Chain A
Amino acid sequence: MGFDFNVILSKQDELISGIAMTIFVWVVGTFAAALIGFIIATARRYGGVIVDKALTVPIEVIRGTPFLVQLFLLYFGGPYIGLSLDALPAGLIALSIYGAAYFAEIFRAGYQSVPPGHVEAAECLGFTRVQVIRNILLPEMALLVIPPSVNMAIILLKETALLSLITVPEMTMTASAIGSQEYAFVEAMVLIALVYWVLVELAGVLGRFAEKKLSRYRLAKA
């Protein structure tokens, strides 16, 4: 037996569209997850005890169950409660909600890291709540929030592979299909494993770069 990567590479157009789809769902899913997570964390900070406690439950449920089960529940169970979604929107929604639960915790830790004195000082100067968030909280927590956010983005990239199981034509599904047609499944999987690996390393490099750029915001030791 021998491994022949040429049969896979001859299908490069399909592969590239699969890779593009993976990058698309990854980027859109991660930004949506970060945005929803930020909104949740903000609601928990300013919404009072009841909102805070009420939001703990869905966060813990999502963090405590496998993404695959959540995905199947939404995609296959959704139509039974009038929520018929195509594979791509279902995958994007599931990915965003899953990521949001983790991002909510990242931003919560970020909010907690900002010294209360800074917020109080800004309030005394007449900053509105939005101004406090934008000018004090966000810049001060940025440096702390970036490493776990990059980590989460990397986790979400790897979770996008599961969307192949609900037939989103991303790279795992494309490569599986090509691999089966051409009797070169192993080659196809090795190839996309390398693509994922490169993307993960790239995300890590970008994260470290952002961290470096933002290091001017580092808090002085109090």
Chain B
Amino acid sequence: MSWKLFNLLLEASLMTIFVSSVSILIGLFLAILLSAANLSGIRPLQWFAKFFISFFRGTPLLVQLLLLYNLLPVIGVQIPSLVTAIIGLSICTAAYQAENLRGGFEGVPTGLVESADMAGFTPVQTFFHIRVPIALRLTLPALINEAILILKASSLVSVVGLIELTRMAQNLVASTFMPLEIYASAGLIYLVINLVVATAGRQLERRLPGVGGK
């Protein structure tokens, strides 16, 4: 396999990294909103969050993407496949991240929340200034794990027509008939990206201070 082909794969992997990182961040934001809904004590909001998390964790991402990709034109929404891919991945990872964050929010020391209340914080302030930062710190390992899962899951957005690493590999296989070399190279690139993310994650965990002596 020539360097030219490998370079094409490398270029396409930038799209994989871009789509994954954007989706992780949007997903994290949505997950925090879902957690807020869960903690709000307002029944309909809690039901919605519960339904959302259960549905998107309970169905295959491939089916979600196919559904989204075909639903949008039917309801009259015309958007590029890049946006479709990001929406699909973000919604799916939001459900998983919300489930991860649940454990983090349970680990927030009640003393800190009570102190904030005593200090005159509104519930919203307590949520964003006390609960969220601590929950995020506590669930950092799960977040890094999720980032790796999404990097791998982003291979599925090839079905909505976005040219990322897997789709590029498919296209190159179709024109060169070298599936072994090309898919193995694509796998290798995914592996290297994931190793980098995992290593960076461990470094970050070591550098950041812990929570309340834990």
Contacts and interface: CB of A to CB of B under 8 A. Distances in A.
A binds B: yes
B152 interface: yes
A48 interface: no
Interface string B129-160: 00000000000000000001000111110110
Given A61-B191, A68-B166, A69-B166, A193 B159 contact: no
A93 to B, nearest CB: 15
B83 interface: no
Contact of A192 (B63, B70, B71, B186): B63
Contacts of B184: 73, 77
A69 B186 contact: yes
B60 A69 contact: no
Interface core residue of B63, B71, B186, B190 (most chain A CB under 10 Å): B63
A31 interface: no
A100 B180 CA distance: 22
Contacts of B194: 64-65
B62 A161 contact: yes
Interface string A52-65: 00000000110011
A67 B187 CA distance: 10
Given A67-B152, A69-B169, A189-B70, A158 B195 contact: no
Contacts of A65: 152, 187, 190-191, 194
B9 to A, nearest CB: 11
Contacts, number: 110
A81 interface: yes
A101 to B, nearest CB: 13
Contacts of A67: 152
B179 A80 contact: yes
Q: How big is the A interface, by class?
A: 35 or more
Contacts of B159: 165
B67 A186 contact: yes
A164 B179 contact: no
Contacts of B64: 193
B59 A158 contact: yes
Nearest to A157: B60
B26 to A, nearest CB: 21
Contacts of A161: 60, 62-63
Interface in B61-93: 61-64, 66-67, 70-71, 74-75
B15 interface: no
Nearest to A73: B183
Q: How big is the B interface, by class?
A: 35 or more
Interface in B39-67: 54-55, 57-64, 66-67
Contacts of A109: none
B126 interface: no
Contacts of A68: 155-156, 158, 166
Contacts of A185: 66, 70
Contacts of A72: 166, 169-170, 173, 179, 183
Contacts of B180: 73, 77, 80-81
B195 A64 contact: yes
Contact of B183 (A77, A160, A189, A196): A77
14 contacts: A1-B74, A65-B187, A66-B153, A69-B190, A72-B170, A73-B179, A76-B183, A77-B179, A158-B59, A159-B60, A160-B60, A189-B70, A193-B64, A201-B58
Interface of B: 54-55, 57-64, 66-67, 70-71, 74-75, 148, 152-156, 158-159, 166, 169-170, 173, 179-180, 183-184, 186-187, 190-191, 194-195
Given A65-B187, A157-B60, A189-B67, 4 more contacts: A64-B195, A77-B180, A162-B60, A190-B67
The 7 closest A-B pairs by CB, nearest first: A161-B60, A77-B180, A66-B155, A76-B179, A189-B67, A73-B183, A158-B60
Interface of A: 1, 60-61, 64-70, 72-73, 76-77, 80-81, 157-162, 164-165, 172, 176, 179, 185-186, 189-190, 192-193, 196-197, 200-201
